[in-house]
Structure 1
Amino acid sequence: MLVVGAAAWGVIANMAYATSLPIKNVLSQEGYKDGEIKKLKPGQRLPSMILKGLNGNSYDVGATRNKPLVISFWASWCDPCRVEAPMLNELYRKYKQDVDVYGINVTRYDRLEDVQKFSRALGLQFPILLDEQGALFERFGGAAFPTHVLVDHHGQVHEIIIGMLSEQELDRKIQMLQKKKVSLRSR
């Protein structure tokens, strides 16, 4: 019980520190009115939101692309995220020509140096983006880590998955997204 309490305190302390970080990383966003955050649901278009990557590049998450997108929201202190990271790396290597994969760290609940250590230690190959405000994460409900969002090649949210996925399950879902594109092309 003491160990669980200490671990929970560490997470709370990490979150308290992270929420005190300056907000500077979301460069632009669509769909906000009067401070209201509209939740995204399957079937809706992914909004344009530009996030900075760990590599210094800017990425428009909602940009028009001709291939599906897998987004994985994570935090460095999240054990299931650590377990899933090598699987995401493998799927990125397998599908990188046909599917974009973005790992989005919700830096509001993390520290940049921990994000960098996590990424280096696990040898992450896919782009790591920083959602410092947690604004995009909140658009998807912002309930838990990891949260996965599958977006089709038209930019529509196909599915939002809260919690860990097996490699086989995520692989199957990616293949379904690809088949959706193939079946739409053949019409």
Structure 2
Amino acid sequence: MLNESALHTLFLDARTHNGWRDQAVTDAQLRQIYDLMKWGPTSANCTPARIVFVKSAQAKEKLLACMNEGNIEKTRTAPVTAIIGMDLEFYEKLPRLFPHNPDARSWFAGNRQAIESTAMRNSSLQGGYFILAARAVGLDCAPMSGFNVEKVNEAFFAGTSVRVNFVCSLGYGDTGKLYPRGPRLAFEEACQVI
């Protein structure tokens, strides 16, 4: 079991940040995040998540033009914002990623509903792993869904089979800009044991 400190880092003290300290995030940290998150389970090991790490001023301006007003400043000031995408042709990699069933590709090829639901569900899972991995390497996160989907797809994924799921800014959070922590539902409100 993880020790108390690790639980606080990953869950109990972790917050969604709205402001950032002026401290860089390195490419080595981004690679470390991916190298941790990639081991999280997905159905049939389909791993549809594709990530664009937005760091340069030029790329950041493209992304800012896609963000809703309330998310512009925290995206502008973040050292990095990750665009978590989902590859709608993930099944083409199944012969390599799921070799113990050579027919796995056929479960999806030509089945748009299965492709879209599997890509969304599993890239969302991977996005959760991404957030935990970022926290595990000492970074803070600001996951967001307040953006124009079509603009992000056009600006970052045009001509590809990848579509955006959500974005997540990364850095070292400025605790002075945190909102009060929101309440959560009690176990009895959210869970059943049957």
TM bucket (normalised to shorter chain) is under 0.3
Q: Rg larger in 1 or in 2?
A: 2
Q: Tell me: higher relative CO, structure 1 or 2? Use CA pairs within 8 A at least 6 residues apart.
A: 2
Structure with greater helix percent? 2
* TM norm structure 2: 0.25
